């Protein structure tokens, strides 16, 4: 259950990163409100997960999911570039997250 919370928190991190860009330096109210809501939910879920997980792997997974998710949303929805190197970097981030999970460093 704790890892599910980390994944969900990572997805909300993706949301707050994308909405931060859409807020145009906090000048647009709805994306700014969405950013704030996603950030609060993301941090709240991560806080709940950290009750049962070690901070290192959980934080790495949270940031990895958020970083990879933001990059993928940027490519798919915001017309950002998708070079082979960028796609490889996203795959490496996600591979690292999975390896941390499989490494058994958390109970």
- Identify the three-state secondary structure at position 87: helix
79 DSSP assignment: -
Tokens of 93: 């981030």
**Please, how many CA atoms are within 13 Å of residue 29, restricted to the half-sphere of its CB?**
0
Q: What is the pLDDT of residue 81?
A: 93
Domain chopping of the chain, boundaries: 2-102
pLDDT per residue of the chain (107 residues) written in tens, 0 to 9 = 999 999 999 999 999 999 999 999 999 999 999 999 999 999 999 999 999 998 888 999 999 999 999 999 999 999 999 999 999 999 999 998 888 878 765 45
Which tokens hold the place of 31? 């994306």
∠ CA(82), CA(88), CA(92), 5° rounding? 135
What 3-state class would DSSP assign to 61? helix
């Amino acid at each position: 259950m704790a890892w599910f919370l980390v994944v969900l928190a990572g997805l909300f991190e993706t949301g707050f990163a994308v909405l931060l860009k859409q807020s145009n330096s906090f000048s647009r109210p709805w994306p700014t409100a969405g950013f704030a809501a996603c950030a609060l939910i993301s941090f709240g879920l991560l806080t709940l997960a950290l009750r049962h997980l070690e901070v290192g792997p959980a934080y790495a997974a949270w940031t990895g999911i958020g970083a990879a998710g933001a990059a993928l949303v940027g490519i798919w929805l915001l017309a950002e570039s998708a070079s082979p190197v960028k796609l490889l970097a996203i795959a490496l981030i996600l591979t690292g997250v999975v390896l941390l999970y499989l490494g058994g460093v958390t109970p």
